[in-house]
Structure 1
């Protein structure tokens, strides 16, 4: 088992998986056009075992208060797995399976598995957290950096959330749900029937991000990229809406990106 880059190719779609760089999707090319931003903040990284910010880096774990490193002071952000080296479990021409064992500072032993499956017109990412020891709260999500502009065409976003999580001055949800507001956004939205967001680069490509999960963060405050992030709960969800990983019940989530040329 190595952690060298993996390239999957089906038709004119090609995805690069980087186990050694935090389990990140390094790039997605369709007909030779790269859809994901490159450079500093690039590709699509897994958010696990939590998504977005944890307030003050603290969360309640049963009767214990845990503290995570403040990598986005005064908060902890986007989990620990994106900073670690994953390993390749198996790979074919159109699918890769990579794993990561959670380690300190996360207090519980668990294995994260990510399956990357490519077709001619879609990419499906599936992630699970399994433990054979203690139960603990966790979250799963993905943070893609889609190019705002493709071949001169600026992206438009189309989605119909049921609500928006009101955002406080500290960038965390206040606990109140409000009617969705116009962007720009760094905000979490509720989609009870499942995440369904379409990015359209007019005359070029339409890409639909879907997931059975009910939460999506949309971040479009940067000139270069737009982020559409399906996740199993809102930011600070380890405190407000925890999902438990138990020896009997792993936590699993999936998202599919499907595209059509225009």
Structure 2
């Protein structure tokens, strides 16, 4: 096991100061609060409990610097549409057409996380405990590599008591079929005593570019079932056979957060790198590079094809508890 990273709460003062940013939408239910950043990829900037000692964060909160940079990768969680994670060389073939996404402004060599996280979302209906966010994408012929299918997306982000519920959906507006995947990308506080528990069947091994090579056994599969220390392995991998529930526990603080997903999100990613104090347990509908997967692997990579006018919706819950 690696030496554990220090508690990332060294940034807590910056994060707590950012909670009052006027560009954020504040939602409250009892002692639980959310901050939502529509302009920063429709992201959640913070999810926390208010206490006499200060905020207790269930997701890693955005700092002042992150908000100033408008960087979704430094938010608490952000939506992934119309695909999750990487596409090799930003290219794939679909329905007899070669799709090249390399010029759409995504600065990664392998197109990453779709385009919705790099767009401002429009605010719709809002209450004290919920907000609707909307995004409509129309392909821009002047942008080489722009996602070539028109679609609209919606998020309903809400507090139900202290539970965070996110309803994520999309509709194909194109006059042809569209390959599709979606998910959410939450970051959690990572400490020396953070443990992740989830029932999974196998892991996609990956190359140095974090692109899948083969599906198979790995010690992390068994470790996840029993409770995996966030410091046990160097992970940025997809797991199959996920039972759509994962528990992130901070054992020394006697608190935990349970993520549950509906059948739309049949895949799970764990990102716990050796080099940084980061932890993600991501509910997704498709594995990395699913659009380039061979036909005989399709049942293990997820994703779908939306017909013209067809819609898809999925629901996620994060439930906090103390023990």
Query: Is the partner of 1:56 in helix, strand or coil?
Result: helix
Partners of 1:69 and 1:58 in 2: CA distance: 7
> 1:24 deviation in Å?
0.3
Number of equivalenced pairs: 255
> 1:93 deviation in Å?
1.4
Kindly report the root-mean-square deviation, in angstroms, between the aligned alpha carbons of the 2 structures.
2.0
> 1:73 deviation in Å?
4.0
- Superposition pairs of residues 90-105 of structure 1, within 5 angstroms: 90-104=125-139, 105=146
Query: Is the partner of 1:82 in helix, strand or coil?
Result: helix
Partners of 2:123 and 2:108 in 1: CA distance: 33
What are structure 1's unaligned runs of at least 5 residues? none
Alignment match, 1:210: 260
Are 2:24 and 1:5 aligned? yes
TM-score by length of 2: 0.74
Residues 30-76 of structure 1: CA distance to partner in whole angstroms, max 9, x if unpaired?
A: 23212332234221011111110000001222111111137354311
More strand by share: 1
More helix by share: 2
> 1:155 deviation in Å?
1.2
Alignment match, 2:217: 179
Alignment match, 1:54: 87
Query: Is the partner of 1:107 in helix, strand or coil?
Result: coil
Q: Provide runs of 4+ in structure 1 moved above 4 Å.
A: none
Asked whether the equivalents of residues 152 and 173 of structure 2 are also in contact (C-alpha less than 8 Å), the reply is: no
Partners of 2:173 and 2:277 in 1: CA distance: 42
Query: Is the partner of 1:44 in helix, strand or coil?
Result: coil
TM-score by length of 1: 0.90
Stretch moving more, 247-256 or 228-237? 247-256
Partners of 1:126 and 1:191 in 2: CA distance: 22
What are structure 2's unaligned runs of at least 5 residues? 1-21, 67-73, 140-145, 221-232
